[in-house]
């Protein structure tokens, strides 16, 4: 995950616009947030742990004056939620100073780090993002050549925004794993992980930064260069449609909300059930539940109320309250009592959410709890920037659907098929990455699958 944003707009309050852009991308990362601005080429950056609204105040934004800005919201995996990993990273090198924000995950970080170290440049952390920043900051060729050379060396997923030499730079890996949209704000340019951020700042969506494209935006406008790294097959992450992206964003020409509703409709056709009520696990399961209810002709109801103030970090309840942990987030409504309920969620990863929700629904008086999941079982880790556990942590890794059903205690369990998900999204299967569902990776998978554990230290996204 991670959200990135960039704006080149000399006549506007770029830090404030970046703040609002990041606010729209908060769902992509809730651990830290940061903005870097360039004022006539002079860089200032502010980054800290917490939500966008916690990191920035009116005063702090006023201190970030400039004509170009980039921003980042970070969603780390485990442990590495340190201030030092907050982005944008600022790197002072032999050739230039860069501020950089990254969404994705590299799979050849170790190799690149070794090369940098051999060249006398010692990375301070084990972060893949720092490697990209160090390569750009120390490459003495002109900026565009330095970026092209760096892109040719990076393996894995990267959608990147950079602020350097008074310019806004955006580039995307040749597979296009993670999204990156390009928008216009009058005569000015904006880039953002998702179109919902363009909408909020009043920019019109122009197109996407293409796979393998470099866009440089400076005083003389937008310059782009294509196919900077060897062409690869497109591999936009299909899980963006399932869960990651905001439903009001448009990705690859498809509105995410519509794709999710179609996933639910298709799921109802593939795995019908006699029931009295269809309800979502809010909020991520809601569009699919609406689609399911519509296609099945079963009434839609909320079933559970979600407390929207539960962030990723809150004071842990005392021991005696621990089992009620899930009550911090959800509370069932009496409308489920005595009913045969279909509960729809977008995905099962570790299985812990669903296990607790099923128990809660039975406690609330549900007669039957039929779990319907609008994506196939996740059976393999992601090396391209999603916080999926390794093989052992995935509940569907090495278990049949019925074994998982028994584990979560549901009356029945069914997943949307791979083909059904693909049809709902609308892209051809050769244009997306769906390795977490198939184990077929679009790049050579890392030699050591245990990288998925190491990844927790390496990933910065």
Which positions are catalytic? 2
The residue (of 347 and 411) whose beta carbon lies closer to ligand 5GP is: 347
CB of 284 to Mg ion, least distance (A): 3
Please choose, out of 186-194, 247-255, 300-308, 348-356, the segment that lies near ligand 5GP by the rule CB under 6 A: 348-356
Segment 375-404, which members bind ligand 5GP (CB under 6 A)?
Answer: 386-387
Please choose, out of 49-57, 161-169, 204-212, 342-350, the segment that lies near ligand 5GP by the rule CB under 6 A: 342-350
The distance of Cα 270 from the centroid of its chain, to the nearest Å, equals 28
CB contact set of 275 (below 8 Å; sequence gap of 6+): 296, 298, 339, 340, 341, 342, 368, 370
H/E segment holding residue 373:
strand 368-373
How far from each other are the two terminal CA atoms of the chain, in whole angstroms?
A: 5
Cα dihedral sign for 210, 213, 217, 222? negative
The answer to whether residue 284 forms part of the interface with ligand 5GP (CB under 6 A) is: yes
The answer to whether residue 438 forms part of the interface with ligand 5GP (CB under 6 A) is: no
Tell me phi and psi for residue 239, to 5 degrees: -70, -15
The answer to whether residue 349 forms part of the interface with ligand 5GP (CB under 6 A) is: yes
CB of 152 to ligand 5GP, least distance (A): 30
DSSP string across 166-207? TEEEEEE-TT--S--EEEEETTEEEEESSHHHHHHHTPEEEE
CB of 346 to Mg ion, least distance (A): 6
The answer to whether residue 351 forms part of the interface with ligand 5GP (CB under 6 A) is: yes
Nearest to 198 by CA among 222, 182, 187, 216: 182
219 to 248: interface string for ligand 5GP, x by CB under 6 A: ------------------------x-----
The answer to whether residue 284 forms part of the interface with Mg ion (CB under 5 A) is: yes
β-bridge pairing 188-192 and 3-8: antiparallel
CB contact set of 284 (below 8 Å; sequence gap of 6+): 243, 345, 346, 347
384 to 423: interface string for Mg ion, x by CB under 5 A: ----------------------------------------
CB of 244 to ligand 5GP, least distance (A): 7
Please choose, out of 66-74, 220-228, 352-360, 439-447, the segment that lies near ligand 5GP by the rule CB under 6 A: 352-360
Other residues' Cβ atoms within 10 Å of the Cβ of residue 402? 10
The answer to whether residue 138 forms part of the interface with Mg ion (CB under 5 A) is: no
Q: Which two tokens stand for residue 178?
A: 């993670």
H/E segment holding residue 6:
strand 3-8
The answer to whether residue 352 forms part of the interface with ligand 5GP (CB under 6 A) is: yes
The residue (of 12 and 350) whose beta carbon lies closer to ligand 5GP is: 350
Q: Which two tokens stand for residue 117?
A: 């170290």
Q: Binding-site residue total for ligand 5GP (CB under 6 A)? A: 15
Using CB under 6 A as the criterion, which residues of the chain lie in contact with ligand 5GP when the complex forms?
243, 281, 284, 345-354, 386-387
Using CB under 5 A as the criterion, which residues of the chain lie in contact with Mg ion when the complex forms?
284
């Amino acid at each position: 995950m991670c959200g990135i944003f960039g704006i080149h707009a000399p006549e506007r309050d770029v830090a404030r616009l970046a703040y609002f852009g990041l606010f729209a991308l908060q769902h992509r990362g809730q651990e830290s947030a940061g903005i870097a601005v360039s004022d006539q080429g002079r860089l200032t950056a502010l980054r800290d742990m917490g939500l966008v609204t916690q990191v920035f105040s009116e005063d702090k934004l006023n201190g970030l004056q400039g004509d170009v800005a980039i921003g980042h919201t970070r969603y780390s995996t485990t442990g590495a939620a340190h201030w030092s990993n907050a982005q944008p990273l600022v790197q002072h090198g032999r050739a230039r100073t860069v501020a950089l924000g990254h969404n994705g995950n590299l799979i050849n970080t170790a190799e690149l780090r070794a090369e940098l170290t051999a060249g006398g440049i010692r990375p301070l952390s084990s972060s893949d993002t720092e490697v990209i920043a160090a390569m750009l900051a120390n490459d003495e060729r002109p900026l565009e050549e330095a970026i092209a050379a760096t892109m040719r060396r990076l393996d894995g997923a990267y959608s990147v925004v950079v602020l350097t030499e008074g310019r806004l730079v955006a580039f995307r890996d040749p597979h296009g794993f993670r999204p990156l949209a390009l928008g216009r704000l009058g005569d000015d340019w904006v880039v953002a992980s998702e179109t919902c951020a363009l909408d909020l700042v009043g920019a019109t969506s122009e197109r996407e930064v293409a796979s393998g494209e470099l866009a440089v935006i400076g005083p003389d406008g937008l310059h782009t260069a294509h196919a900077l790294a060897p062409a690869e097959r497109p591999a936009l992450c299909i899980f963006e449609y399932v869960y990651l992206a905001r439903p009001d964003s448009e990705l690859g020409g498809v509105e995410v909300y519509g794709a999710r509703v179609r996933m639910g409709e298709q799921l109802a056709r593939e795995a019908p059930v006699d029931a009295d009520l269809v309800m979502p696990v809010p909020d991520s399961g809601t569009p699919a539940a609406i689609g399911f209810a519509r296609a099945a002709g079963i009434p839609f109801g909320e079933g559970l109320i979600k407390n929207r103030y539960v962030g990723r970090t809150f004071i842990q309840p005392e021991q005696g309250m621990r089992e009620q942990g899930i009550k911090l987030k959800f509370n069932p409504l009496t409308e489920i009592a005595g009913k045969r309920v279909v509960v729809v969620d977008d995905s099962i990863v570790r299985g812990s959410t669903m296990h607790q929700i099923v128990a809660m629904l039975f406690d609330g008086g549900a007669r039957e709890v039929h779990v319907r999941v609008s994506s196939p079982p996740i059976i393999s880790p992601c090396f391209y920037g999603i916080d999926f556990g390794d093989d052992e942590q995935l509940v569907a890794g090495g278990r049949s659907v019925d074994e998982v059903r028994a584990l979560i205690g549901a009356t029945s369990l069914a997943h949307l098929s791979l083909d059904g998900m693909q049809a709902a999204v609308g892209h051809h299967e050769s244009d997306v990455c769906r390795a977490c569902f198939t184990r077929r990776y679009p790049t050579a998978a890392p030699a050591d699958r245990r990288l998925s554990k190491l990844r927790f230290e390496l990933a910065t996204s």
